[in-house]
């Protein structure tokens, strides 16, 4: 029992409620916008881990890794709902996935471990701010612009996987604007981004576990950089609301919702920037 408690300590009831609420909200947004939820989970998980006594540097890294791990489950749940409506562009998934796995492996198992958590927090803030601006402006692509060929999709996939691994996001903030910029309908872009979330999360999570195994000062319940109690609670709740978000994406004016979400992202980016500069 003592070993089990050390490996997987039970969170307090209040902490379970906080993690469950975070999972429900991010699951819905993952299905609605194809974003994976990682950009929401990261800042809040950093706050939660810091309150548990984890150092600021390590808390940021564990928050990013844990949020990425939850995307494996959220992606499966949301993509099923999108697939049932025939919205997933599987041809694009096949073109981007190999590069995503390569870029994710490089980020998760290599670069992520070398960078300081405070550096990652600042990068996270800048990246989220840029993504929020793109989302808020909702720019329209040039007519006739098409998806690039095999080499272009491989390079783009590698960039998506690599950047996602550094910020703990499912790649939707790159892949959705990228696809829309190449005249993929927004509903199809969101659905396809949800499908891309799984290879992104899988490749990076494996890297986080491997690169974090020998790190000193990890709290109980950590598997590498992944915090298992947070992963289990958030993933269990997010899979419940991800299909609801996916169904809603086919009914509501997503462009307007994206602007509201962008405002929220600016607030989260400001918190992570403060966390990084403070460290």
Q: CA angle at residue 230 from 227 to 235, to 5 degrees?
A: 120
- The conformational region for residue 171 under phi > 0 = left, psi -120 to 50 = alpha, else beta, is left
Length of the chain as a residue count: 279
Res 253: pLDDT: 73
- Report the candidate in 196, 257, 239 with the shortest Cα–Cα distance to residue 81: 239
| Domain annotation covers residue 3 | no
Query: Phi and psi of 250, rounded to 5°?
Result: -90, 0
What is the pLDDT, as a whole number, of residue 35? 61
Q: Give φ, ψ of 52 to 5 degrees.
A: -85, 0
- Check residue 154 and give its pLDDT: 92
Q: What is the gyration radius of the CA atoms in the chain, in angstroms?
A: 17
Task: Report if residue 43 sits inside a domain.
Answer: yes
pLDDT of residue 91: 93
In a domain, 2, yes or no: no
The per-residue pLDDT for 38 is 65
In a domain, 224, yes or no: yes
Each residue's pLDDT expressed in tens, for the chain with a length of 279 residues? 333 444 455 678 888 898 999 889 888 877 776 665 666 788 888 888 888 888 888 888 898 889 888 888 878 877 887 888 888 999 999 999 999 889 888 887 777 777 777 787 787 788 778 777 876 776 655 656 788 888 999 999 998 888 877 776 666 767 877 887 788 887 888 889 888 888 888 888 888 898 888 888 888 888 999 999 999 999 899 888 878 887 787 777 766 766 766 776 787 778 778 767 775
- pLDDT confidence of residue 155: 92
- The pair of three-digit structure tokens given for residue 76, joined into one six-digit string: 């499966």
- Exposed, middle or buried, 2 (CB in 10 Å: 0-12/13-18/19+)? exposed
In-domain check, residue 111: yes
pTM of the complete model beyond 0.75: no
Range of the domain at 51: 12-278
User: Rounded distance, CA 43 to CA 103, Å?
Assistant: 23
Residue 233 has a pLDDT of: 92
Q: How many domains does the chain have?
A: 1
**Domain assignment of residue 144, yes or no:** yes
């Amino acid at each position: 029992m003592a070993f089990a408690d050390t490996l997987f300590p039970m969170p307090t009831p209040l902490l379970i409620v906080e993690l469950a609420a975070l999972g429900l909200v991010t699951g819905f947004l993952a299905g609605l916008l194809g974003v994976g939820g990682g950009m929401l989970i990261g800042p809040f998980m950093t706050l939660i881990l810091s309150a548990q006594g984890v150092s600021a540097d390590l808390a940021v890294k564990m928050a990013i890794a844990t949020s990425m791990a939850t995307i494996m489950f959220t992606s499966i749940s949301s993509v099923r709902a999108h697939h049932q409506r025939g919205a997933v562009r599987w041809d694009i998934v096949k073109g981007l996935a190999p590069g995503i796995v390569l870029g994710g492996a490089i980020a998760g198992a290599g670069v992520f471990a070398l960078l300081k958590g405070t550096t990652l927090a600042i990068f996270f803030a800048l990246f989220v701010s840029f993504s929020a601006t793109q989302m808020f402006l909702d720019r329209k692509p040039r007519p006739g612009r098409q998806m690039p060929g095999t080499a272009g999709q491989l390079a783009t996939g590698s960039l998506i996987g690599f950047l996602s691994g550094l910020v703990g996001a499912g790649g939707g903030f790159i892949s959705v604007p990228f696809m829309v910029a190449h005249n993929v309908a927004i509903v199809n872009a969101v659905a396809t981004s949800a499908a891309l979330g799984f290879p992104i999360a899988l490749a990076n999570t494996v890297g986080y576990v491997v690169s974090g195994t020998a790190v000193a000062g990890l709290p109980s319940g950590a598997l590498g950089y992944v915090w298992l109690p947070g992963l289990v609670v958030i993933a269990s709740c997010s899979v419940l609301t991800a299909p609801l978000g996916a169904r809603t994406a086919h009914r509501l004016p997503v462009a307007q919702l994206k602007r509201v979400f962008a405002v929220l992202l600016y607030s989260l980016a400001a918190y992570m920037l403060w966390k990084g500069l403070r460290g």
